[in-house]
Amino acid sequence: MRILGLDYGSRTVGVAISDPTGLIAQPLKTITRERESMLRKTLSEIQEIVREYAVDRIVLGLPFNMDDTEGERARKTREFREKLSLRTEVPIIFMDERLTTVAAQEILDDSGIPRSEQKKVIDQVAAGLILQTYLDDVHNGKRS
């Protein structure tokens, strides 16, 4: 069972994948695009990853505001989910992604990775955190 984690942003999508047992998330790649509206290549790359890894489900980070409301980014993420669901036949589950980029930044700082290099991997590290939270919830019986 493989699960894909996605951190959707205006110009990037961080991608993480679980190990075959569904216990450990690891960063996979960052998909970039020139403009937010240019999604065809992004969707195709995700579709290919789903095929290549025989993904059973996708966990997509949903950016809630700190007061539990949804703003413009959440609306765009929901629209992205709709487009992605037309390309893949696997369930797409939302996962609260509040502060994952901040946590990813701390992990990269603690790892000694220079700030100039962090931009290349921060989105995939955030996707890994989103996915790992989901995997931990499943393992602890909080989700199915």
Please give the pLDDT value at position 25.
Answer: 97
Please give the pLDDT value at position 57.
Answer: 97
**Own/partner pairs, 118-123, CB within 8 angstroms, 24+ separation:** 120/30, 121/27, 121/30, 122/14, 123/7, 123/9, 123/12, 123/13, 123/14, 123/30
Please give the pLDDT value at position 130.
Answer: 95
Neighbouring-strand partners of residue 70: 64
Please give the pLDDT value at position 26.
Answer: 96
Q: Where are the domains of the chain?
A: 2-139
Please give the pLDDT value at position 111.
Answer: 81
Give the helix ranges, DSSP H, for the chain: 40-52, 72-87, 100-110, 115-118, 122-139
Token pair listed for 79:
């629209």
Token pair listed for 52:
């290549």
CATH top-level class of 2-139: alpha beta
Please give the pLDDT value at position 46.
Answer: 98
Put simply, whether the predicted model's pTM sits higher than 0.95 gets the answer no
Least Cα distance to 18 among 2, 42, 38, 41 occurs for 2
Distance separating alpha carbons of residues 44 and 14, to the nearest angstrom? 15
Please give the pLDDT value at position 136.
Answer: 93
Distance separating alpha carbons of residues 109 and 116, to the nearest angstrom? 11
Q: What is the pLDDT along the chain (144 residues), one digit of tens a residue?
A: 899 999 999 999 999 999 999 999 999 999 999 888 889 999 999 999 999 999 999 999 999 878 888 889 999 999 999 999 999 999 999 998 877 877 777 887 888 888 888 888 889 989 999 999 999 999 988 887
